[in-house]
Structure 1
Amino acid sequence: MGRLANMAGRKQFDVDEALRGAMHVFWRWGYSEASIDRLTEGTGLGRSSLYGTFGDKSTLFRKSLERYAETYHPLYDQALSGPHSSPSAVVAAYLRVTLNRIADPTVPDGCLLTVSATQFPALDAEGQAMVRAMIDGLRAMLEQALRAAGADEHEAAELALCTLATNKSLAVLSRAGFSNEDLETVAAAAARVPGDR
């Protein structure tokens, strides 16, 4: 996105950078605790500019969630594109993306999608539908990759759900201060799929 400027000569700002700041506020605090004061501080915008550019808090949240998905979901897609030698390799590749994001010191701990799911009742119907659709999309992506790696339909469905649950638990544990080594242990155990050759 480009830069906006007020004709009266007010300070320019980068809409994309402001949206990234909002995304980090929702990611760190969750929807409920992402106050307008925190959002103005995180974006560097005044209230009028924030509302004028992004609309209300619910709309800004959905735009932030879209930005999050545009940033991270292609990494999962790339990791799952294979070819993978086994279902275990699919699980390991998927969770590696999660571990890499968690280890990134430039972003908040955890996962915006996970913290949003934990605050599901606080979201409006559109926000709830968006969170669920994104989780379902990741699940479908996993199932497809697991089938391509040799899992039958039932096994792929089970493993996709368990991998997704592990992914979400890694995000929660990281927010609780568990070490990267602990998270690596969880991911490695999850990737030991019984019956893999």
Structure 2
Amino acid sequence: MSGRKQFDVNEALDKAMRVFWQRGYADAPLDALGSATGLGRGSLYGAFGGKSALFRQCLDRYASTYAAQYEQALAAHPADPIRAVEAFFDVVLDRIADPTVPAGCLIAQSAAQSPTLEEDNSSHVRALLDTQRTRVRAALADSSAGPEVLDELATFVVAVNQSLAVLSRAGASNAELRTVARLACTTVADTIARARPEPTTHN
């Protein structure tokens, strides 16, 4: 058919996503993106609206690829928020250990480069982190700790998640990363336990 695109948009996004994931936004030139996707500069602009718009679509592609796994892990233990956090970190660590994908996390890498991103993309990265925080916060809700403590713990869990990605890119071993995750889960459990109200005694 005349005018029909001769490429798979999702496949092109996946390939471009890997370039951004490996190199970061600033070090991912259009030539590299074109080589990865098989598209010329004009086709990239025509299909995706330029490098900045392509990057934003790759962020969404990355988030949607892994969001379902995170949500399933966090929702699998509705009465046990500690186990939910453990399951969340298990999914994160399995992704980090997957040899078929680049090291680290596209969102974590992009967050570290936020000062060099255009404002729209920087805000988009922040929104994706906020979504992750909201997801974790919901999993922690079924506990006796107060809202303020749970808000702080959700931020902590997201921070540890991003740190795991950074450490993995720096060459930390799987055993080291799992130690970090285990200590993070212990911190969450201890914090919730300390925040539990004391039982009322009657004379």
TM-score (norm 1): 0.89
Q: How many residues align?
A: 191
Could you tell me the percent identity over the aligned residues?
A: 49
Residue type at the aligned position of 1:183: L
Aligned to 2:91: 97
Using the alignment, how far apart are the partners of 2:97 and 2:2 within structure 1? 39
Q: Specify every segment of 5 or more residues in structure 1 that has no aligned partner in the other structure, as ranges.
A: none
Aligned to 1:156: 150
Q: How well do the aligned residues superpose, as a CA RMSD in angstroms?
A: 2.0
Deviations 1:135-190 (A, max 9, x none): 11111111111012444312211211111111000000110111111111111111
Using the alignment, how far apart are the partners of 1:91 and 1:187 within structure 2? 9
Q: Specify every segment of 5 or more residues in structure 2 that has no aligned partner in the other structure, as ranges.
A: 194-203
Using the alignment, how far apart are the partners of 2:96 and 2:2 within structure 1? 38
Deviations 1:61-108 (A, max 9, x none): 001001011111121111111334433212212211210110111111
- 8 Å CA contact 2:75–2:84 kept in 1: the answer is no
After alignment, is 95-104 or 44-53 more displaced? 44-53
| Cα pair distance change 1:139/1:189, threshold 3 Å | same
Using the alignment, how far apart are the partners of 1:147 and 1:29 within structure 2? 37
Larger radius of gyration: 2
- 8 Å CA contact 1:87–1:151 kept in 2: the answer is no
- Matching of residue 147 in structure 1 with residue 159 in structure 2: no
Aligned pairs (5 A) from 1:1-197:
12-192=6-186, 193-194=189-190
Deviations 1:24-72 (A, max 9, x none): 1111111111111111122121222212111111000001001011111
- 8 Å CA contact 2:97–2:174 kept in 1: the answer is yes
| Cα pair distance change 1:6/1:15, threshold 3 Å | farther
